[in-house]
Amino acid sequence: MAKAFTGLNAPTWPDSFPAIDKAKAAVGAQLYDKYCSGCHLPALTPDIVHGKAPDSEFWKNFGPIRWRGRDGQEKQTKESVLNVKIIKQSHIGTDPAQGDVLRNRTVDTAGSELARAVHSSPGLGLDIDVCQRKADNTLDTIQLSDHAMQLYALALGAVVQSSIDEWLRSTGTVHAEIEGDRPNCLAAGFGYKARPLNGVWATAPFLHNGSVPTIYDLLSPVAERPKVLLLGEPSFDPVRVGIVARTAAPKGRTYDSKGYFILDTSRPANRNTGHEFSNDKHEGVLGPALSPEERNAIIEFLKSI
């Protein structure tokens, strides 16, 4: 039987928008293979979804998750998933703040000293196995308990896992049915995920911090990207593909006159840097500058997946 994709499908480009130019999309598909698939993986095209491409490169990154349990035994899921890549922040060059929080922040899950002294907070009572992705990309299980300076990422993972375990227990649900037996793993290191780009046309604004309004802007050098954007504004630009960029909003204000949030990319955590195609050589440059025709061809392809 031909392999077919059984996961969730992305929404298709609506008929009410300008029609997809198939010839342009075919050029875009080649550019995607050349400049994007190394990180975002070979695209999940409609042919693959419908079982017409069983030999596609796409399937090479599809397989079970393998990890080492607390007992030292190798385990693996029954279901297959897409093994996506995480790209180091120093390479991708996008805003570091979000990754930094997970890497550096600590929380006191043991209960503060003052709270302990008055016996009002005994701590969270964490005592749980969590799965952690190590630097060599293998998955291991570590035991986590309360600590006055617990790493925020691990504590968050543990609290999420404890809540899930409690819900599974109280509802009598079998883990395998609901999560395909997948471990809840945390990645070590400092990077951002290169997600599959299916349906990405519908997910503006772009990057993990929503700092780039359209795909055209993302494929343009950073100097050409809008410095300010309005969040919550519902207009969609089907040509540049994303939210409609507005001219600079008044300085020092958080909301514009209609009440839309003003995202100022000059502020730390909002920066729109990195993931850049440019002929300059600096951190965050992933490849050579793309001409406007090349950017449009790639966009045409992304509309089709």
For the beta carbon of residue 256, count every other beta carbon within 10 angstroms.
Answer: 16
Under rule CB under 6 A, residue 208 binds ligand HEC: yes
- Count of positions (residues) in the chain: 305
Note whether 256 and 249 are within 8 A (CB). yes
For residue 218, state whether it binds ligand HEC (rule: CB under 6 A): yes
Cβ burial, residue 274 (10 Å; 0-12/13-18/19+): buried
Could you say which of 25, 92, 158, 263 contacts ligand HEC (CB under 6 A)?
A: 92
By CB under 6 A, is residue 36 in contact with ligand HEC? yes
Does 102 help bind ligand HEC (rule: CB under 6 A)?
A: no
- Considering the complex, what minimum distance in angstroms separates the CB of residue 18 from ligand HEC? 19
Can residue 192 be called a binding residue for ligand HEC (CB under 6 A)? yes
Sequence-distant (6+) residues with CB within 8 A of 223 are none
Degrees (nearest 5) of the Cα angle 67, 73, 74? 35
Q: Is the bond leading into 96 cis (omega within 30 degrees of zero)?
A: no
Residue 197 lies near ligand HEC (rule: CB under 6 A) = yes
Distances 234 to 182, 186, 305 between C-alpha atoms, Å: 36, 34, 23
Site for ligand HEC contains 241 (CB under 6 A): no
Instruction: Please tell me whether residue 284 binds ligand HEC under the rule CB under 6 A.
Output: no
Does 195 participate in binding ligand HEC (rule CB under 6 A)? yes
Lay out the site mask for ligand HEC across 63-82 (x = CB under 6 A, - = otherwise): --------------------
With the CA atoms of 140, 64, 39 and 222 taken in that order, what torsion angle do they form, in degrees rounded to the nearest 10? -70
Give the sign of the dihedral formed by CA 124, CA 128, CA 134, CA 137.
Answer: negative
By C-beta, is 116 or 195 nearer to ligand HEC?
Answer: 195
Taking CB under 6 A as the rule, does residue 244 contact ligand HEC?
A: no
Distance of closest approach, residue 150 Cβ to ligand HEC, in angstroms: 26
Residue 41 or residue 53: which is nearer to ligand HEC going by CB?
Answer: 41
Residues forming the site for ligand HEC (CB under 6 A): 35-36, 38-40, 87, 91-92, 94, 192, 194-195, 197, 200, 203, 206-208, 215, 218, 275, 286, 298
